[in-house]
Amino acid sequence: MASRESSTNRALVRRVTRVPAEDVPDGYPFDVDADHALELVVERRRADGSETVRAFEAWPSGGHASSRLARVLDAVGEPAGSPGALDGERVVLESRDGAYRVDVDGTYALHEEATRAGVNTHALAELVVAAGALVGLFAFFLAWTPLERAAVPLAALAAVVLAASLGYDAWQTRDRAWTPHPLPWTAGGAVPVLNVAVAVAYLARKAVAVDDSADADRVWRDVLAGTVVAFAVGLALAAFDLTFPLGATVFAHAWALAPVAVFLDGRSARHEHAPKRAPWLAGAVVFGGAGALVYLLRTDGLQ
C-alpha cells in the first residue's frame, strides 16, 4: 500500500508537447481519457539534486474551459486555451506508483504563496525608494547648514539606494497596465538631485498603475501641477534666511522634476495632438517650474 500513497514535489516544466494518447505509458495510474494528451517534461527537485520526469494531462476534445487541464492552467495564472504557456512554469507534482501528474491544489497554493511574496517584496522596494528619496532631500538640505560635511556621504548613499531599489522594483514590475524598463530608472536613480525627481515620478506612475490604471496617462498633469506649486513655494521660502535651506531644497528638486515630468507627459497618450517634446523639455531644463507652467498652459494639459 505504501506505493499507492501520494506525495507532492515542486518542479519546473521544461517542455510541453501534445501527443497521441497511445504515447501515454501503459499502467499510467492517472486518468488520461482522451484521444490526445499533453506531455509535460518536468525537472523535479530531489534531496540529492534533480531529475527529469514526465507527466500527462488529458487533452480535452470538447474544449478547454471545464477540463482538468484548464484548472492546471488557471493554477499558474494562464488562460484555458494556452496549454503551451505551461512551458517554464513552476508546478507541484503528485506521484503514484512512480508516475507523476500536476497537483492542481498544490500548484494553486505554490503560486498564491509566490504572489504574496512578490507583493511584499514590491512594497518593501517601494519603501526603500521613498526612504532613498528622503535621504537625498536631507543631504541637499544639510549642504546649506553647518552640517554640510555630512551632505556628500548622504547624497552618495541616496544615489546607491535609489539606483538599486528603482532598478530592482522596475525589473520585478510586470503589469498589463505598466511594465517599466529597469535601465533608465536605474540610471536616473544614480544621479544626485535628479534621482529624487526620478523616484517621485516612478512612485507616482506606479501608484496610478496599481490603483487606477484608467488615470495612468493623466498622472503627469498632476505631477506637473505639483511641480509648479513646489517651485513657487521653494522660491518664496528661499527668500528668507531662516527658511533658506528648506526653500533651496524644495526649489532645486522641483526644478529637477520639471523636465522629468514634461518628458514623461509628452510621451503619454492623453494629448489629442502630441506636443513637440524637444523644445518643451529644453524649456523645463532651463526654466524649471516656470517652464513646466508654460508647458501646462500651452498644451492641452489643463483641459
Print pLDDT tens along the chain (303 aa).
333 334 458 888 889 998 998 999 988 999 888 888 889 999 887 766 678 899 998 887 655 556 788 888 888 877 777 788 888 888 889 888 888 889 888 888 876 655 454 444 556 788 899 999 999 999 999 999 999 999 999 999 999 999 999 998 888 776 555 778 899 999 999 999 999 999 999 998 888 766 555 556 678 888 999 999 999 999 999 999 999 999 999 999 999 999 999 998 888 767 767 788 899 999 999 999 999 999 988 886 444
Cell of 45: 527537485
Residue 122, pLDDT score: 57
SS (H, E, C) 152-176: HHHHHHHHHHHHHHHHHHHHHCCCC
**CA atoms of 57 and 90, how far apart (whole Å):** 16
pTM of the full predicted structure? Answer: 0.59
Contacts of 146 (CB under 8 A, 6+ apart): none
CA atoms within 13 A of residue 136's CA, in its CB half-sphere: 28
Return the closest-CA partner of residue 55 out of 70, 43, 67, 65.
43
CB 205 within 8 A of CB 178: yes
Residue 244, pLDDT score: 96
**CA atoms of 291 and 272, how far apart (whole Å):** 21
CA atoms within 13 A of residue 152's CA, in its CB half-sphere: 1
Longest dimension (CA), the chain: 88
CA 221-170-212 angle, to 5 degrees, is: 45
CB 95 within 8 A of CB 102: no
**CA atoms of 161 and 207, how far apart (whole Å):** 20
Place of cell 498622472: 219
193: left (phi > 0), else alpha (psi -120 to 50), else beta? left
Q: Rg of the chain over CA atoms, in angstroms? A: 27
Q: Which residues of 80-94 are buried (b: 16+ CB within 10 A; e: fewer)?
A: beebeebeebebbbb
Residue type, 265: D
Residue 174, pLDDT score: 65
For the chain, give every domain's residue range. 2-102, 118-302
